[in-house]
Amino acid sequence: MASNIIINLTRPRHFVLAMMAAVIFAISAVAAAALLQSRSRVLREGEQVTRDMAKLMQNQMIHILDIASTIISLERVDLEMRNTQSASAHSPQLLDLIRDKPYLFRVTIADANGDVVTTSMLNPPPINISARSYFKRHLSGESGPIITVGLQSQASGEPIMLMSRAILDSSGKMDGIAMVSFNLEALASYFTNLVPAEYGSLFQLIADDGRLLVDISPLPQFRERFVEPDIWANVKKSRLDMAVYQSIDNTPRIWAHRAIPGTDLFIRVGTDRQQITRKWNQDLADYAMVGLVAFVALLGLTGIAVRYADREETALNDLRMFNTILEQRVSERTQKLEALTEKLQQSVEDKTVLLREIHHRVKNNLQVVASMVRLSSHHVYDAHARSVFAEIARRIRAIGLVHQTIYEQEAASAVTVHSYLQRLAMLEGDVYGIGERGIIIETRGEGELDLNTAISMGLVVSEALANAIKHAFPDGRQGIITIIASASEEEWKVIVADNGIGFDNELDAGTGIKLIQALASQMRGNVTFLSDGGTRVEMRFPILRNPAEIFTDQTGPAATRMMATK
């Protein structure tokens, strides 16, 4: 008993601690999910930033190449060549074309022999480019523009990239070439200013063989630098769009690759993943701070809740004690009620058996009375008197049939209508011998009736059925008699109909008709007699809450209608 008390006393405290642990776990789970979602969101943002920067750099590179192509395609450049007589002459006009474009190194025009005839360079030395590959390509018939990489300026020794175009004479023969060279270091500086520094992004211009032409990483070296062979093979093979890998400086980056349309050039833009995840680290610190505050607050709430739980434990113990006492008293009362219920159930069963036995004896007594009436009729020689005795015996048997029906079914106070009507039809049929006369009786009924209502309704059906059997089919005629009993929410409707000869306009109000009218009045109903291709007796009477009202005195006869149709 002591151990049970200790367990009961500590249960609220344990419940509070378990609830607080569950809350802390739930908050931790939500925070972890939020952190993972935040990290995924930051990485997606980094990929999108890298993709957007690559598209911007691609557009800028296309724009720069378009400017260079426009410059060497100007008619002004062609005129410069044709108007220059001396070799390697400086041209202020060509210098003006690239003055505001630091990424363009110089504009140069060479004749058909490869000698430079004019250039934007100040004090140019004599230069011949006939050995250059691009010159030979133009000489063989390519008009260009042709982009050539991996070159070095003959004048300054700087690494350059060159775009060239053939200048044709009126006959279509090559008269010379126009060239614009790109200063790769200046081009790197130009793109350095375009790339956002907060993401630690890199820009690289790459030749078709993987050579790095422009690299804005710290301390770029433009000579003999190539993209990682395995990465470049995938880029060339599948035009790799996005990938995450380490570059030459061993820094993991998100890389975006794009080709320059119409050229053999590619660009690559990389974003430092560590720079991107710094935002996630900031979110992590914010979540950690919020989680710490929530944890401290929960600890305080836990202490308060435990204190209140301990305070309520005394009241709970008192309540348990009173509940135990109350349960004992309820158990005692329940046992007494069960014993009393058992006695009442036994009493009800005894009364049910007794009531069924009473119905059985009443039925037997009524059969005895009916038999005595029949025996008495044997000493009466008047035919009318003997028929009266027979009708009395028949009516007594109809009343006894109600008690017999109740006795034979489980209910001790209600009559099943359909079963009762079937028995009544068999009784009347046996009395009048309908089988030999070829008369058929059909019955349809529903519901149940109390004893008093069943006796009254049974007498009405018995009288109407007897009249139909005796009078509807004279001279050996055959026919059908239908008995229907149905109930609505407020009233019963009973119909006895035949397809016999019917009656004339005036119905003979004999004893049976008067008895039907009296019974209908007693049941507070009305009865209708119709003759149209047979006789139809229809009685309607209300469903009474107190069936004993049937035997109260009634004022006035039942409403009766008679209709005859020939």
Q: Which of 273, 293, 326 delimits the end of a domain?
A: 273
pLDDT grade, residue 495 (50/70/90)? Answer: very high
End-to-end CA distance of the chain: 96
- Give all strands of the β-sheet with 479-487 in edge-to-edge order: 439-445, 479-487, 491-498, 535-542, 526-532, 559-565
> How many folded domains does the chain comprise?
2
Lowest mean pLDDT among 108-117, 360-369, 410-419: 360-369
pLDDT of residue 8: 43
Q: What is the mean pLDDT of the chain?
A: 77
pLDDT in tens, 232-248: 887 777 666 777 776 66
pLDDT grade, residue 484 (50/70/90)? Answer: very high
Provide the 10 A C-beta neighbour count for residue 276: 23
Best-predicted range by mean pLDDT (73-77, 173-177, 278-282, 390-394): 173-177
The b/e string for 127-137 (b: 16+ C-beta within 10 A; e otherwise) is bbbeebebbeb
For residues 181-197, give the mean pLDDT.
Answer: 82
To which H or E segment does residue 177 belong? strand 174-183
Give CA–CA dist 453/242, Å, rounded.
95
pLDDT of residue 76: 63
More confident residue, 491 or 400: 491
Whether 47 is in a domain gets the answer no
Give CA–CA dist 122/155, Å, rounded.
11
Q: Determine phi and psi for 147, rounding to 5 degrees.
A: -105, 130
Could you tell me the CA-to-CA distances from 383 to 105, 195, 390, 440, 499 in Å, in that order? 152, 134, 10, 27, 29
Whether 364 is in a domain gets the answer no
Task: Report the alpha-carbon angle 34-38-41, nearest 5.
Answer: 140
Q: Which of 227, 248, 273 delimits the end of a domain?
A: 273
The yes-or-no verdict on residue 1 having pLDDT over 50 is no
Best-predicted range by mean pLDDT (106-115, 240-249, 476-485): 476-485
Give CA–CA dist 207/227, Å, rounded.
10
pLDDT grade, residue 69 (50/70/90)? Answer: confident
- Whether the CB-CB separation of 364 and 396 falls below 8 Å is answered with no
For residues 502-510, give the mean pLDDT.
Answer: 68
pLDDT in tens, 415-457: 888 888 888 888 778 777 887 888 899 999 988 888 788 878 8
pLDDT of residue 4: 42
Report the percentage of the chain scoring pLDDT > 90. Answer: 4
Report the percentage of the chain scoring pLDDT > 70. Answer: 73
**Tokens 């349309």, residue located:** 261
More confident residue, 281 or 121: 121
Whether 39 is in a domain gets the answer no
Could you tell me the CA-to-CA distances from 457 to 54, 158, 482 in Å, in that order? 102, 129, 15
Report the CATH number that the domain containing residue 108 is assigned in CATH: 3.30.450.20
The yes-or-no verdict on residue 102 having pLDDT over 50 is yes
Query: What is the Cα 293 distance to its own chain's centre?
Result: 39
pLDDT in tens, 402-419: 666 665 666 556 788 888
Lowest mean pLDDT among 63-77, 331-345, 383-397, 477-491: 383-397
Total residues found in the chain within this entry: 566
pLDDT of residue 6: 42
pLDDT grade, residue 565 (50/70/90)? Answer: very low
* Beta-carbon contacts of residue 548 (< 8 Å; ≥ 6 apart): 452
Structural domain boundaries enclosing 243:
67-273
Whether 33 is in a domain gets the answer no
pLDDT grade, residue 494 (50/70/90)? Answer: very high
Give CA–CA dist 535/118, Å, rounded.
137
- Whether the CB-CB separation of 155 and 88 falls below 8 Å is answered with no
Give the pairing type, strands 159-168 and 242-246: unpaired
189: left (phi over 0), alpha (psi -120 to 50) or beta: alpha
Whether 306 is in a domain gets the answer no
Whether 518 is in a domain gets the answer yes
How is residue 255 written in tokens?
A: 């890389």
Q: Which of 220, 255, 273 delimits the end of a domain?
A: 273
How is residue 10 written in tokens?
A: 């500590």
Report the CATH number that the domain containing residue 442 is assigned in CATH: 3.30.565.10
The yes-or-no verdict on residue 64 having pLDDT over 90 is no
Give CA–CA dist 115/127, Å, rounded.
6
Whether 464 is in a domain gets the answer yes
The stretches of 472-561 forming alpha helices (DSSP H) are 511-522
The yes-or-no verdict on residue 511 having pLDDT over 80 is no
Give the pairing type, strands 146-152 and 159-168: antiparallel
Give CA–CA dist 166/516, Å, rounded.
132
- Whether omega before 196 lies within 30 degrees of 0, making that bond cis, reads no
pLDDT grade, residue 255 (50/70/90)? Answer: confident
How is residue 425 written in tokens?
A: 């039809």
Whether 290 is in a domain gets the answer no
Residues facing residue 115 across a β-bridge: 128
The yes-or-no verdict on residue 52 having pLDDT over 80 is yes
Give CA–CA dist 48/54, Å, rounded.
10
Best-predicted range by mean pLDDT (17-26, 192-201, 331-340): 331-340
